[in-house]
Amino acid sequence: MATQARVRLLVGGGATVVLAAVALLVPVEPRFPPAWQSPTQAAERAERDVPTLGLLWGKVRGWSRVGTGWTVLWQPSHGMWLVSAWVPDGPGEIRWRIDAAPWLPGVRLSGAAAEVLTGLTGGVEQARERLGRRDWQVGESRLLGALPAGGELPSAGLLRRPVVLAVLVGLLLAGAVSRHLVPGVPGRGWRYSVVSVVLLLFATLPELPALAPMTFQPGVRPWVAELAFGTAAVLLLGALMYAGQRFPATAGSPPVGWLPLALAVGTLAGRFEPAIWLVNVAGLTLRLPVLVGLAVLAGWLAGIAGSGLRELLRFSAFARVVGLSLLGMAGVGFGGAWTGVTLAVVSAAAVERGWGTWMGMGVVWGWFFGSLWVVARWETALWDALVFVLLGCGVVAVAHLAREHRSATSESPALP
Amino acid sequence: MFRVRYALQVLLAAASLVVAMALVKGRGVPGEVQAGALARAALVHLGYEPLGEPTATFEGDQELAWALERARPGPAGVRLARGQGGAVRWRLVFPGGGEAQVTVDGVIWSLRRPVPSAPGPALFPSMARSRVETAVAEAIPDPSAWGLVRAQSWREGGHIWQRGWYVGGAGELPSGWRRELELEMVGSTVVSWRRTVHPLGTDLGVVTGRMAELQLLRRPALLGLGILVIGVFVAAAESVAYRESTAIARGVAYGLVTATAGSFASDTLVAAPIQGVVAAVVVALLPVWTELPRTRLRFGPAAGVALAAVTLAGRAYILGAGGWTPVTPPVPGDIGPIRLLADSWAPALVEEPLLRGALPALAVPVVGWWGAALLAAPVGVLLHPLPTVPLAASFALELVLQLGLAAVARFAGVGGAVLARGTCEALVRRASFPVGSDWDRVALIGVILGAVLLLWPRRRE
């Protein structure tokens, strides 16, 4: 028996090593330019290099990755204007822009900024006070103080897949209903996990508005924007916590034989079609707890959608094989930024109920890791990505060993 | 005991009617009839006798009105908004030609008469000046404070046209504001003039900034309702699967009424048909949720009257405590009894079943009924607050209303809460519409219904 166990361990270990090598070493052409610096570094560079615009910038409120650079947003506490700058990773030119509240009687730009905007240097600037705006007369050119001032910033292209999204939402609803109609033994550990990560995300809430720069608007004070974001986040997380109690994952041991495969598939999916928004998360100071929280919630949701898909395809074994294969291929072919999620749902549906959430989470975990590895290339983010994946492996190992220990204890003969 | 209870109900009906009539009495936008007479007199003064009765339309610049109130706290600001600020006014169009804008306090804001076939001899600009200045002196109360800043003349249709722009400083308006007047003359006849007001940016900014902030804060509330609707649809799927008894016919009827009300309302959360479908599903599911309190419709309107009184008193308290809240009511985009009815009842029909029905029903197993009611309150608070300074005052006032509605829902059920909210909204919104007994009756529909339900003889239990 011991020899058999050793052989199994060796085969499993070997397969895991091969899968890890495949996931990490298969050459994949990156579809998005990686970020070589963090948003904090980009903000520091902008504050250093952009000439003073004659107005208070305020604090850094948010950022988003656009093309080969970061768009960083500043807003003073009175909220009357927004300063945004697009900072390229390399030595390129920083582009900036000011958006002010429409009712503001024009922000007085500095003379230097007026010269830059009019393209006339060395002229004599004359400040002109107007009703509703503050102008500059530079030579024959007049710069209207009515804002926005500055240039257009590059914008991120939309990566929407409405059909994939609609299918996933439908599967989530089907999964939620199926967990009531076809009840299994609820996993207490999963319930605790969902509650714990929601509480963890609550704790990181003050940092999270930086991920939603569109919340900050000229004329709206930043605390109100943060309140709006915080309220939305609390409602969403509260709903997830509630759903975690009402639609818990089915109890089951971790499928240690399959999890390396899930992790490898997720990593490959992340490298092939990275979740580009994760690079914004990587810019947070508390990125590790946020990543863990999001991964657990996404994995659990993938488990629910997987339950729905499993029940929908239960009527025939052939339909199950064909349906899962088609959905998997469609996810890889057309999923775009949703590839990882689609594969997580398919993986969760492909195994038995007790393993569904584990498999979904395995794929999501790998997808997050692969995405971060591809898009967030500054040192601290890479280290945290590594810690993130090791943390996941460690938790699975502990869960597996604890279960083995429990089974061994229950099987040992009772002492006289 | 039964008689005592019935006597108490009679007293409650009488009290709610009296309080509701006191709340609507004298409220509303005045000056419609007076505006017609003033406009006619002003046009006659320009040498044009308008024919027929004018069509009056209420219009206003809500942000301007609130900025004036903010800049001049108290009754002075309200007077400015209704008078020399020109923020709230009547537009009068005469069927035979001629148009005027008159503020609700009777200030002629703009005037336009048809171009006469014989407008008199064409004047050179220098000769036209005295004629224009005479006309300007008649249009404004303090002509000496105004000065010509620009003039223009051109030839069109065989006549010389003159146009002058006058600027009048702040006048009675708050410091930093500016008044302007544009006047047009053809030949030697003044054909039109129009006044405008330029607010100080910061005064306007406080108001528009608060409005933008409240608009932003409305989004999480909509997200909360969206999450709730997902829960409702999952519950509906389960109830169908378990073949539970639902109120399909009642739900469909309620959904149709809600969709109809939403299609006439000026502001809806989402498209009216979607609101109708959601409300229909919630009402159809109400029998499934057995832990909800029993509906006692007759107490809803009386509670609504009390809530309206508290809301109006709360606004007065904010003003009295040195804060700011708008006195001029929100200006509706269109006026008509249907609009008043729809604006008042559409939010009640949509939001109450969700916030006082579905949310408690879904959350009772986890947080209990009152816990669920407290969850619903912040969502409701963010849906319709008015701008105030400080902003928290607005939320506090809305929170009082939401907690009141939660108490009503506990005592009188979801149906009672719907009637309470509709009655309250109708009484509060009454001030946005013209004065008159017809409008009062529309605003009092809920109260009258409540009185009939309270007085309806019931079987002894």
Taking contacts as CB-CB distances below 8 angstroms, the residues of chain B near A177 are 234, 237-238, 241
Q: Is residue B4 part of a domain?
A: no
Task: Determine the pLDDT at residue A136.
Answer: 62
Mean per-residue pLDDT over chain A, rounded: 84
- CB-CB under 8 Å, B379 with A228: no
Question: What domain count does chain B have?
Answer: 2
pLDDT, average across residues A262-268? 89
Question: B193 CB contacts (<8 Å, ≥6 apart)?
Answer: B110, B111, B135, B136, B139, B181, B182, B183, B184
Domain boundary among B145, B176, B199: B199
Measured in angstroms, the CA of A186 and the nearest CA of chain B are apart by 17
Q: What residues of chain A, 104 to 143, have a C-beta less than 8 Å from chain B? A: 104-105, 131-132
Do residue B274 and residue B251 come from a single domain?
A: yes
| Placement of tokens 């620009």 in the chain | B150
Stretch B406-414: mean pLDDT: 93
Task: Give the H or E element holding residue B26.
Answer: none
In a domain, B289, yes or no: yes
Do B194 and B225 share a domain, yes or no?
no
Interface test with B, best of A216, A226, A231 (most B CBs within 10 A): A231
Domain that holds residue B56: 32-199
pLDDT score of A132 more than 50? no
**B173 shares its domain with B296:** no
What is the pairing mode between strands A149-150 and B55-60? unpaired
- pLDDT at residue A251 greater than cutoff 90: no
- The neighbour count for residue A83, using CB atoms within 10 Å, is 27
Do B197 and B173 form a contact (C-beta atoms < 8 A)? yes
- What mean pLDDT comes out for the span B237-248? 87
The answer to whether residue B267 sits within a structural domain is yes
A131 confidence band (pLDDT: 50, 70, 90): very low
Residues B183 and B295 in one domain: no
Whether residue B1 lies within 8 A of chain A, CB to CB, comes out as: no
The answer on pLDDT for A146 being more than 70 is: no
- Average pLDDT of the residues in B132-148: 80
Q: To the nearest whole number, what is the mean pLDDT of chain B? A: 88
Res A98: pLDDT: 83
Same domain, B259 and B110: no
Are B235 and B136 found together in one domain?
no
Tell me the pLDDT tens digit for each residue of B68-124.
Answer: 988 888 788 888 988 888 888 999 999 988 999 999 988 899 999 988 888 888 777
DSSP A73-124: EEE-TT-SEEEEEEEESSS---EEEEEE-TTS------HHHHHHHHT--SPP
pLDDT exceeds 70 at position B280: yes
* A173 close contact with B: CB closer than 8 A: yes
Predicted ipTM > 0.90? no
Q: A226-244 pLDDT, tens per residue?
A: 999 999 999 999 999 989 8
For residue range A357-410, list pLDDT tens digits in order.
999 999 999 999 999 999 999 999 999 999 999 998 888 888 888 887 877 777
B189 with B312, same domain: the answer is no
- In chain B, the percentage of residues whose pLDDT exceeds 90 is 37
Q: Does A228 lie at the interface with B, CB-CB under 8 angstroms? A: yes
Same domain, B286 and B380: yes
Among residues B172, B199, B226, the one where a domain terminates is B199
At B249 the pLDDT is 94
In a domain, B288, yes or no: yes
To the nearest whole Å, the CA of A232 is away from the closest chain B CA by: 4
Same domain, B235 and B129: no
- Clarify whether residues B47 and B131 are in a common domain: yes
The pLDDT-based confidence of B21 (bands split at 50, 70, 90) is very high
Nearest CB neighbour to A232, from listed B223, B231, B363: B223
pLDDT at B42 over 60: yes
Which residue of B216, B217, B238 is in closest CB contact with A177? B238
Q: Is residue B26 part of a domain?
A: no
Partners of residue B382 in chain A, C-beta under 8 Å = 231
Cα dist from A129 to A64, A87, B175, whole Å: 36, 33, 17
Q: What is the pLDDT of residue B461?
A: 52
pLDDT in tens, A26-68: 777 777 888 999 999 999 999 998 877 767 888 999 999 998 8
From A131, A177, A217, residue closest to B234, measured CB to CB: A177
Query: Which pLDDT band, with edges at 50, 70 and 90, does B17 fall under?
Result: very high
Which residue from B213, B219, B237 is facing A177, i.e. has the nearest CB? Answer: B237
Q: How far is CA A369 from CA A183, A274, B94, in A?
A: 33, 9, 73
Last residue in a domain, options B199, B221, B244: B199
- What pLDDT, in 10s, does the model give residues B355-374? 999 999 988 888 888 888 88
Q: What is the rounded CA–CA span in Å between residue B69 and residue B63?
A: 10
pLDDT at A224: 93
Whether B104 and B160 share a structural domain: yes
Give me the pLDDT at residue B450, please: 92
B9 in any annotated domain: no
> What's the rounded mean pLDDT across residues A5-10?
71
Q: Where are the alpha helices (DSSP H) in A273-286?
A: 278-282
Residues B414 and B300 in one domain: yes
Instruction: Please say if the pLDDT value at position B19 is more than 60.
Output: yes
pLDDT over 80 (residue A354) = yes
